[in-house]
Every structure is written in C-alpha cells, then in structure tokens.
Amino acid sequence: MKPIMKFSALILTSELVDKAEAAGGPARCLLTSVELDCDTLGTNGVLVRVQYSALNYKDALAASGNRGIVRKLPLIPGIDAVGTVVEPNGSGLQIGDEVLIAHAKFGTSHHGGLSSLARVPADWLVKLPVGLSAAEAATWGTAGFTAAQSVRQLLNHGISPESGEILVTGATGGVGVFAVQLLAKLGFSVTAATGKRERYDQLLKLGAEKVVPREEILDLSDSPLSKSRWAGVVDCVGGTTLNSAIRATQAGGCVTACGLVAGHELELTVYPFILRGIALCGIDSANVSQKYRQELWSVIASDWRLDVQDVSKEIGLLQVPDQIENLLKGLAFGRTLVQIPE
C-alpha cells in the first residue's frame, strides 16, 4: 500500500474552469485539504516542505484559469516557494536544506508553491543564500528577482546615478516597489509613476525622489520621439506606458520591460533606437540558468539587501482567494507573503 500524505493546497480543477467559462466569467481556485498518495506530486525530483509562497500577478491569472498561463489541470498555482528539503532523492542536497523554487513551469504546467509540499527537479532549486531568511527570500520572490535583473541591466548598459532620472512605472506593484528601493539604495534619482495617489507617501518613504500620476508620463501623440527625460526606465506595465517611456528616454539610455498589465502590444518606430541609441531589454525571470540565479540571489542577500517589511504583508492560505481578487482589480501594494501550514 502506498503511503498517504495529507497536505493543504490551493487547487484549480478543470471542473472549476469549465463551470466558470460556461457562466461567462473567470474561474476561481478553491482551498481544500486533500489526501494524496506519494505519486501525485510525481516520483522523481526533490520533495520540499514549503514554508512560504508569495503572490504575483501571474498567480492571479493562473488562479483565474487564464488559458495563456495554465498549461495543465488540475493545477496548484504559485510560481514562488521557499522551504526545506524533505527528500533529497539523490540531488546532493541534504534533508533540512533551505531552498528557493523557481522555474518557468512551476505553478503553470507543474504543481506550484501554494501547497505545503512540492516535488521538483533538482535544477529548479537554489540554496537559500546566507543572509536571507526564508520569509525575506519569499518576499523578494520572482518580483524582487525581476527588479534586481532590471537594475542589473541598467548598470550593464552604463547607466549610473550621474546619468539622470530613472523612471519606474507600475511603482506600487511587486516589481515596482523593489525597483524603487534598490535604485534608491544605489544612489539613483527615482521617479515613481503610479495611478494610486493614496500610495505617494509610501513610495517616497521607499526612496523615490518624485512620485507622479501615470497620466503625466504618457505621450499619446503620433510623434516618433518625445522630449528626452529619462536616463533609464524600469517598466512594469507595458502597452502605451512602455511606448511613451521609450520615446522619452535620452540618448544612450536603457529601458527594461517585464510587464503587460497595460497591454502586450508595442507600436513604435525605430527612431528611438537609431537616433538615440536606446537599448530595450526584456526581463525573463523564469528561464535563467541556475548558476545565474544563484549568483544574483547572493548579491540580493549581501550588497543589495533591503528592509522588506515596508513592502509586504503576510497572510494565510485561506486568505489567498481574496488577495487574488485584489491583485486582479489593481488594489494590491507591494508583496503578499503567504505562510503555508504543515
């Protein structure tokens, strides 16, 4: 007889998706305590006891049954997880090692982190760097890692505090709040753009020199170029906002793109690139190598370490569905840490 595991998980089923689509609305996950045999999570890979997950916009889309995100059903969503090794399964890790889980398939086509157990291939794991607690690492999560990659790209393209203003769009989101903090820590003059006027004081406290309404940075004209304003941009929303930011970036500037909440289309001429030499860098946090991931996490835990308490709140698994609604409605601020029960 196979041993039985009992663990809590947020599960999206095909029945939920079919029912929602028939009703003309999005699906919603149901929290359920399930009894599963050991093979349910697979027999290969490292078994991890998840301590913390964190919510991302991608998780909200997955939990809603978005066909562009969800690749299998049933699915436990959650693209972030931090926990301890329970079964190393020949990986070279030891029982009790603290690890981060991050991979393109995690939480989309492979059961994710909103569960008290996860089983994944060893090369999806990064050992928790010295200097970060499990809660801190989960708070950074994919959003913080994306912000760190964005800042690194600006630095790699020669952008320095002396170069001029750095624009961060979608500044109250998970990536945005980390980008604001990290850039300020490194001495940059940061302009944070947001549609949430009630969050201005919080962004100033995080290190933004200026906070502006998102409408102020938009250029809806047909002009291929706008007046030069930004030395660099960390864009978290896409669409018209990214279009406007690129056209207003100064010669030799760098724009990083990691979001699409404002749209996935980008209508531009080539003039910003051939007349101003602007670099546009896409940020992909899901498919980077384990070596790169481990190295950047080590920097995050040391030279780039931040106080993350002001940008996060902690909830339990039962509160996740309500917080997903807030994410989809654009009501969330910063990061939501999910403590996973045993």
Q: What is the pLDDT of residues 120-138, one digit of tens each?
A: 999 999 999 999 999 999 9
Give the separation between CA 51 and CA 138, rounded to whole angstroms: 9
Give the separation between CA 272 and CA 309, rounded to whole angstroms: 39
Domain assignment present for residue 120? The answer is: yes
Give the separation between CA 50 and CA 320, rounded to whole angstroms: 16
Domain assignment present for residue 224? The answer is: yes
Q: How many domains is the chain partitioned into structurally?
A: 2
Q: What is the pLDDT of residue 97?
A: 97
User: pTM for the whole thing?
Assistant: 0.92
Q: CA neighbours within 13 Å on the CB side: how many for 283? A: 28
- Note whether 319 and 275 are same-domain residues: no
Domain assignment present for residue 303? The answer is: no
CB 169 within 8 A of CB 235: yes
Q: Please, what is the end-to-end C-alpha distance for the chain in angstroms? A: 23
Q: Which domain holds residue 14?
A: 4-128+308-339
Residues 6+ apart with CB under 8 A from 265: 239
| 3 state SS of 170 | coil
Mean pLDDT, the chain, whole residue set: 91
- Note whether 103 and 194 are same-domain residues: no
The amino acid at 307: D
- Note whether 147 and 232 are same-domain residues: yes
Name the strand (E) or helix (H) holding 204: helix 200-206
205: domain CATH number is 3.40.50.720
- Note whether 13 and 117 are same-domain residues: yes
- Note whether 155 and 226 are same-domain residues: yes
Domain assignment present for residue 275? The answer is: yes
Domain assignment present for residue 320? The answer is: yes
φ and ψ at 323, to 5 degrees? Answer: -70, -30
pLDDT tens per residue across span 155-173: 999 999 999 999 999 999 9
Q: What is the pLDDT of residue 1?
A: 45
